[in-house]
Amino acid sequence: MNALALVLLVPLAGFLVALFIPRNAPQNSRWWALLVSLLAFIDSVVMVARFDRGSGGEQFAIDLPWITSPEIHFAISVNGVSLWLVLLSTLLTPLCVLISWRFIQNRVKEFYAFLLLLEFGLIGVFLAQDLFLFYVFWEVSLVPMYFLIGIWGHDRRIYATLKFFLYTFAGSVLMLAAIIYLYNRAGTFSYAAILELLSSGRLVFAPGEQLLLFLAFFLAFAIKVPLFPLHTWLPDAHVEAPSAGSVMLASVMLKMGTYGILHFCLPLFPTAARACAPWIAVLAIIGIIYGALVAMVQPNLKKLVAYSSVSHLGFVVLGIFSFTQIGLDGAVYQMLNHGISTGALFVIVGLLYERRHSLAITDFGGVATVAPWLSTVFLITTLASIGLPLLNNFVGEFLVLQGTAMANYTWTIFASIGVILSACYMLWMYQRVIYGEAGEEVRSHVGDLNPREWAAVIPLIVMMVWMGVYSQSFLPPVSKVNAHVLEQTRINVPFRVERFPSTRPEVARAR
Amino acid sequence: MPANFTSAADLIRFLPEIILTIMGTLLMVLDPILNRRSSYAFGHLSIFALIVALGGSVYAYTQAGPAFGGLLVVDGFATFFRVLVIVVGILTILPSYRFLQRQDAETSEFHALLLFSVAGQCLMAASGDLIMVFIGLEISSISSYVLAGYLRDDKRANESALKYFLLGSFATAFFLYGVALIYGTTGTINLAAVRTAISGQNAPEPVIIAVAAALMFVGLGFKVSAAPFQMWAPDVYQGAPTPVTAFLSAGPKAAAFAVFLRIFMTAFDPVGGDWWPLVWGSALLSMTIGNFAALLQSNVKRMMAYSSIAHAGYVLVALTARSDVGTAAAMFYLAAYAFMNVGAFAVIGHLSGKGERYQNLDDFAGLAEKQPLTAAMLTIFMLSLIGVPLTGGFFGKFYIFKAALESHLVWLTVLGLLNSAVAAYYYLRILVMMYMHEPSDAASKVEPLSLGLRAALILPAIGTLFLGIFPGWVLDFAGKSSTLVR
């Protein structure tokens, strides 16, 4: 069977079976979820191994007719970018199962069922090649997350989950209108067919029309990213979500937005995207600096990491709207980096919360003396998040800044401030949590990592180092896709800023 | 014509109504014989009657064509709505076994009236003539008025029935004035003939046609609870016994929309350019009033009443599109809406307890812990009402707005979709209550699910998911039938 179909179907089948596990056997639910998510992971590794990196284009395509009128296909395939995002989702799901093993004691069966449904929805978003199908997955992934935050979250979980759902839902209904409009114009939901119509000139949008369609899509994606000033749902959702929810939300769900921009907004509406680029870049830069400044003054660990996400995702958006090969490569790489390092941060914060039952930074201090290994892991993750060379974020941020510099040097200067600020708030937080005198509470409650927790953090640490040292394992297929995207955005517009030839040697030397 | 006025084919085409009327009458006759011996006998009999009528309407479709000289038209469109209202009837009776027992109100009238009402709706769906529309409307409505006040000791039910009756009669009168005007100016009440008469060379004064259309719009607008004629719905829905509310929100509404589509897409289609702004406004108003008022409600039945006003607005969007796609979209949506709404009301009735005490939002707290299956089913219905993909509600909405965009109603589409985002809030509140709060009094006291209720929850849930995942079958049938209206 097609490896891609399995990656998608294993979590779905796992979810359906999980519904029928008796409620009074929580251990069965845990093991089942672990088994299913590991299967999905192994399967996605197989898929990555079989992926033909020479082409980087859409592969493993499946196209089944679903609904005849209007014609909707169950069309999925994977390209050099979504490949890694799928791997990221399947890697993080088993880790989320592990970190929830003890923490979730209440309604265990439902928790793991929703987690598997979430995995299904997220993977589907990255694979869908039919706009209707894409919207279906987009919305389907919303429902399990709504329950994950709302049922297993902290005190203000209901407020947070409603805000999360309504923000995203309201943003995406306009995207639905735009999708229907596209269908009425193009006569198909097939993404490839629409691109074909666009490039052959058989489908042409008037400038105003294109701008509105772009904005309808972009609004849905920008809310998800989240782009300043649409980010206000994110800190609430992150703070209130259980650790697993935070990890999936930060690491994978936010990438739905950036992936959407890259995969749909740019190729479909190139003129509008380029016209809006300066505005969006300014918002991204504001997000970078604002997110960092707000993170600096947060008394709550999770809120700090949440605002750091706003800042980091600003880099991704900035990279995309630099419209340079290097910038786009950096943006995609930064999407993956953020998934790994912020995922790890949320895992660690979750571990701290499990021990101390508090998220307030002032409740910690001196953790290093009682939990040296936990502190070491935390240190590596913190440094990765700051962007220390040899760790993953450095590569991504560097590429983004380089790409941005080729487009507009002023942007780079302002964005670089974010890099400096991230070192300030992360290190300061690390210092307050880990060093100093260990209080009574910390000494009695905070223990070091147990084997299950080791199993949850080691893969992430390995990835941080791997991605930081040898980005060549990941970047070539990404570059191929991005080159193609750039090619598509050049259809209607003369290309303005490309002074560098966008070929591999440049990127390689830059690194 | 009188010679073959009642041929065998005519009778076959009239089969569902015949079956339902006979069985309804039989139930009333059997009342003294069966009463108190087997409390479920009436329910079983009426479900049997509805299933036979279901078979009857399918059989009638095999003999499709006009009956009684054009008074009835049995086509795909009529059959679609006949099947729909009969299924709604079945889904109303399933949860009402326990409900009626709990309120000490098991008599044959409930079931007989229900069957008569369904018969009236079948007639509405199949009528090809304004007089038949009127007769069907009256049979359906008068039974519904009585059903709304069925719990006679309940003050709210009495208020509900009286309000429904008074305002309903008004609306019917408006409708009848419209019919009279049409007959006076064109000399015919056959829908197809009216169409020819007003589009031909000797078309009557357009003002009179416009006034007639407007009067009929008022009457039908009332029946489907479209704004600005929605005032009665919250009180009636809240006061009526819950199974009756479920029925009112799905059956009569679907039938009234069938008539709406028939009259406006067949008879008044030539003057469509004149009436569509009216429907446009009514659609927007219904969606907005319904959704925003529902945000403020704490009584779930009342909230669902406002929600049903909003959903009438969505269907009116499809009507505004004035195309075959729009008609098909309205048909599909009404089917999806019937499933999700009847299912949701089954849960509300199940939870409400004796004397319907527990109808508040707070009473849903913790239901997921006490009765996970019930909560899960209600979740499906709520997600479908919100319009989340893989449910019938989503596909219905998608199809409606697709039709609207095809007819270049961009603003109505955008406003309608934004409306559906607003609506998400109040449906989600129920989910919040069920899953994210400690169990309430009502949830702790909730009875175990009886067999009938289990069926009344699971069947609509399957229907909702089926329409969301495999909409093709129903959609294709609706698409084929939608062209037959004209």
The two beta strands, A59-67 and A72-78, are: antiparallel
- CA pair distance B314, A21, nearest whole angstrom: 39
Top-confidence range, A96-105, A362-371, A495-504, B252-261: B252-261
- CA pair distance A105, A152, nearest whole angstrom: 10
Least confident of A73-77, A276-280, A501-505, B471-475: A501-505
- CA pair distance A3, A47, nearest whole angstrom: 6
Question: Å from B450 to nearest chain A CA?
Answer: 21
Q: Which residues of B touch A137 (CB under 8 A)?
A: 389
- Name the residue of chain A whose CA is nearest to B421's CA: A170
Burial profile A384-400: b = 16 or more Cβ within 10 angstroms, e = fewer: bbbbbeebbbbbbbbbb
B401 vs A176: CB contact, 8 Å cut-off? yes
Q: Which residues of A touch B413 (CB under 8 A)?
A: 177, 180
In this complex, the residue of B413, B432, B471 whose CB is nearest that of residue A150 is B432
- CA pair distance A170, B421, nearest whole angstrom: 5
Cβ atoms within 10 A of the Cβ of A209, count? 14
Q: Which residues of A touch B425 (CB under 8 A)?
A: 162, 166
Confidence at B37, pLDDT banded by 50, 70, 90: low
In this complex, the residue of B383, B389, B476 whose CB is nearest that of residue A136 is B389
Instruction: Decide if pLDDT at B317 tops 80.
Output: yes
pLDDT at A491: 58
ipTM over 0.85: yes
Confidence at B199, pLDDT banded by 50, 70, 90: confident
Q: Are A61 and A75 in contact (CB under 8 A)?
A: yes
What residue spans of A63-141 are helical by DSSP H? Answer: 82-99, 108-127, 131-140
Q: Are A425 and A295 in contact (CB under 8 A)?
A: yes
Mean pLDDT of B451-468: 90
Best interface-test mutation with B: which of A16, A29, A69 has the largest number of B CBs within 10 A? A69
- CA pair distance A453, A215, nearest whole angstrom: 43
Least confident of A433-447, B65-79, B229-243, B386-400: A433-447
Instruction: Decide if pLDDT at B342 tops 80.
Output: yes
Q: Which of A397, A391, A396 is nearest to A419 (CA)?
A: A397
Q: Are B87 and B54 in contact (CB under 8 A)?
A: yes
Q: Are A88 and A464 in contact (CB under 8 A)?
A: no
A184 vs B390: CB contact, 8 Å cut-off? no
pLDDT at A357: 84
Confidence at B486, pLDDT banded by 50, 70, 90: low
- CA pair distance A67, B475, nearest whole angstrom: 9
Q: Are A295 and A308 in contact (CB under 8 A)?
A: yes
pLDDT at B436: 85
pLDDT at A482: 86
Confidence at A409, pLDDT banded by 50, 70, 90: confident
In this complex, the residue of B420, B421, B436 whose CB is nearest that of residue A150 is B436
B414 vs A174: CB contact, 8 Å cut-off? yes
Confidence at A509, pLDDT banded by 50, 70, 90: very low
In this complex, the residue of A69, A107, A184 whose CB is nearest that of residue B406 is A184
Q: Are B402 and B318 in contact (CB under 8 A)?
A: no
Mean pLDDT of B52-66: 88
pLDDT at A508: 44
A169 vs B414: CB contact, 8 Å cut-off? no
The widest CA-to-CA distance across chain A, in whole angstroms, is 72
Q: Are B384 and B350 in contact (CB under 8 A)?
A: no
A23 vs B417: CB contact, 8 Å cut-off? no
B424 vs A67: CB contact, 8 Å cut-off? no
Tokens 């629409």 -> residue? A194
Confidence at A5, pLDDT banded by 50, 70, 90: confident
Q: Which of B118, B137, B370, B125 is nearest to B244 (CA)?
A: B118
Tokens 């895992």 -> residue? A347
B418 vs A173: CB contact, 8 Å cut-off? yes
The DSSP output letter for A472 is: G
> pLDDT tens-digit profile of A439-462?
787 778 778 888 888 888 999 999
Mean pLDDT of A193-210: 83
pLDDT at B384: 93
Mean pLDDT of A110-126: 91
Task: Tell me how far CA of residue A27 lies from CA of A10, A99, A106, A144, A456, in angstroms.
Answer: 20, 14, 12, 21, 18
Q: Which residues have C-beta within 8 Å of that of residue A7, sequence separation ≥ 6?
A: A40, A43, A44, A47, A86, A90, A123
Instruction: Decide if pLDDT at A501 tops 50.
Output: no
3-state SS assignment for residue B299: strand
Cα B311 from chain centroid (whole Å): 11
> pLDDT tens-digit profile of A342-392?
999 999 998 888 888 888 888 888 888 888 888 899 999 999 998 888 888
Best interface-test mutation with A: which of B388, B395, B412, B427 has the largest number of A CBs within 10 A? B388
Residue-averaged pLDDT of chain B: 87
Host H or E run for residue A369: helix A367-370
Confidence at A505, pLDDT banded by 50, 70, 90: very low
Q: Which amino acid is at B282?
A: S
Q: Are A32 and A148 in contact (CB under 8 A)?
A: no
Confidence at B4, pLDDT banded by 50, 70, 90: low
Question: Å from A437 to nearest chain B CA?
Answer: 39
Instruction: Decide if pLDDT at B85 tops 50.
Output: yes
What residue spans of A252-324 are helical by DSSP H? Answer: 254-260, 266-268, 270-296, 301-320
Question: Å from A147 to nearest chain B CA?
Answer: 8
Percent of residues, chain A, with pLDDT higher than 90: 27
Q: Which residues of B touch A169 (CB under 8 A)?
A: 386, 421, 424
pLDDT at B39: 66
Question: Å from B51 to nearest chain A CA?
Answer: 29
pLDDT at A206: 82
Q: Which residues of B touch A176 (CB under 8 A)?
A: 398, 401, 417
Q: Are A430 and A378 in contact (CB under 8 A)?
A: yes
> pLDDT tens-digit profile of B349-375?
888 877 777 888 888 888 888 888 888
In this complex, the residue of A136, A140, A170 whose CB is nearest that of residue B421 is A170
The DSSP output letter for A387 is: T
Instruction: Decide if pLDDT at A208 tops 50.
Output: yes
Best interface-test mutation with B: which of A143, A152, A173, A184 has the largest number of B CBs within 10 A? A173
Q: Which residues of B touch A173 (CB under 8 A)?
A: 417-418, 420-421
Structure tokens at B185: 């100016």
Q: What DSSP letter does each residue of B421-486 carry, written as one string?
A: HHHHHHHHHHHHHHHHS---HHHHHPPPPPHHHHHHHHHHHHHHHHHHH-THHHHHHHHHHHGGG-
Q: Which residues of A touch B461 (CB under 8 A)?
A: none
- CA pair distance B55, A489, nearest whole angstrom: 58
